[in-house]
Structure 1
Amino acid sequence: MKDYSHHTVLELFAGHGVGVAIKELGANEHAVEKAPDAIATRRANGMDIAYEDVWDVHLAEGLEHDTQHGSPPCPSFSAAGKGSGRKQMPLILDAIQDGIWRDIHELRAWSDSLEDPRTGLTVVPLHYAYRFNPTYISLEQVPAVLPIWEAYAEVLRGMGYSVWVGNLQAEQYGVPQTRKRAILMARRDGKEARPPKPTHSRYYSHDPEKLDPGVAKWVSMADAIGSIPADRPSPTVTGGGCDDRRLGALRDGRPAGDPQFTVVSNYGTGGDPAKRGRRMSTEPAATITSKFDRMKKVASGALGF
């Protein structure tokens, strides 16, 4: 494996997922995260935080890093939310063009004036890039944010970065889930920014047998987590409102111990049950939405944790 120990990542809105990858690669991390559950999860896995609030940018002074990564909160842009960020897209793009990101105090006042202040957090990584000039930058968000990354790209190119912006599909990189995300990659080391080549096929929901040539087959849920324990009935896991009485108790006509299970997603359906997609465990998962406590119950009842 390539040695990444000389790289240090300043990770904004860190959560814990990317931190695991950074740790596995042997790189160093300065994480910025304020959610108590995420902080507790990080610390339980040997990953601490540098400071909590991305607005406290002065605390990053002296934190040497060559890479910046960020995945700002998505609720105001997500198809599962109310869409205030999507509605205010022209305002956001104008603010980026006007250079509001140069001054963190002006940026925060502007963010606080928005319908949902979380929307303004999407512009915060641009201030960090402007202030610290890291060699490498990566950003991730829901597809609706792509126009913001495109506006970023124009600014970053003016700073001397090579930039790539576009949508990538998670299942094409071995993730057992079909999740499209808007990605920005930038670098100023003299090389061209470009996305990694897919290692796996796209999943074609209308033709699951179709596979892209020259790459591995997509990874299914069953491939990733194995079968249901034999003493558990095969469940249906429903995102966004599963009845607790049904957890771990729906068999879909199959006998207990059958290794197959079903996931029902209401992501982007507006709560309309008729629009819910269903995926078997022999397929990649769709995106499912649920409150953390409810999802924990689903996992406990369905998988025997």
Structure 2
Amino acid sequence: MSSPNFIDYVKFNSRSGHGGAGCLHFHREKFIQKGGPDGGNGGRGGHVILRGNAQLWTLLHLKYRKHVIASNGEAGEAQNQTGADGQDEIIEVPLGTVAKDAETGEVRCEINEDGQEFILTRGGRGGKGNLFFATSTNQAPQHAQPGEPGIEEWIILELKLLADVGLVGFPNAGKSTLLSIVSAAKPKIADYPFTTLTPNLGVVAYRDGLSFVMADIPGIIEGAAEGKGLGIRFLRHIERNSLLLFLVPADAKDIKSEFEILLNELKKYNPELLDKKRMLAISKSDMLDEELMAEMKKELPADIPAVFISSITQQGITELKDTIWRLLHS
């Protein structure tokens, strides 16, 4: 997943179709001069529908589509013929897509399954023809309903990545390097902060042909929940992860303090994130000897599993995978 092609936010105008008008008509034949009413109903307007597609990973295909317009229903006809329904406009979206009302922020739906459909903007109902209004006391109604107008609204789509493991850490903590080592993903890697500007996904191969999905999220800094750095734009991707893997480099001034800052940012963004399983990996551990590692272990948080790893020397990578797999399935 290359950076320019990863789009996780789009805003567009959604317009459903108008319902068709009911028909005002009376039956006429050669030998029937004053037949009864036979005006048919109008067809409904087309819906705007979201449909989940497991083959999509981004909202890129909607980036330049600012207007989504469904067609109108057709008017009813004589001989009680119902007008054709307007054609629905179906928008395919990746799993993990959330639709919101752009004005109120109300969440309209969340698409999590392949083939799942949700009527986002409902088409107008077709009007009733004059046959519908015929009664024993009004056998020749002189009116039919107009079609119901469609709805026009602005919609926001946000994508939350569906991954088993989310990498959480400060910029330059080694998240992208780790993902490139344990999977076939090729995120941008460089020796400066905020190298990763968009999330990256990688499938990590485990034992006996098993695997799990890992997501590299752009680095968090203190104050991210208030919008500092890359802000909360990418924090929403962490909401979908089963396990949070915190990465803190071995050369950090205070590993426990950095871990607590990261944890606090997640808490301020969404307290429910603290209910997720989590573990700690000390990256760049190839610079440590056994004695120093033993001393550092004493200072680490006692309530979560911790592993010392090095993406360069592969130190601790097998132990890391084993711990992740155990936590995912416990």
- TM-score, L = length of structure 2: 0.26
Question: Greater helix percent: which structure?
Answer: 1
Larger gyration radius, structure 1 or structure 2: 2
In the superposition, the TM-score normalised over structure 1's length comes to: 0.28
Name the structure where strand makes up a greater proportion of residues: 2
Q: Taking CA–CA contacts closer than 8 Å with sequence separation of 6 or more, which of the two structures ends up with the larger relative contact order?
A: 2
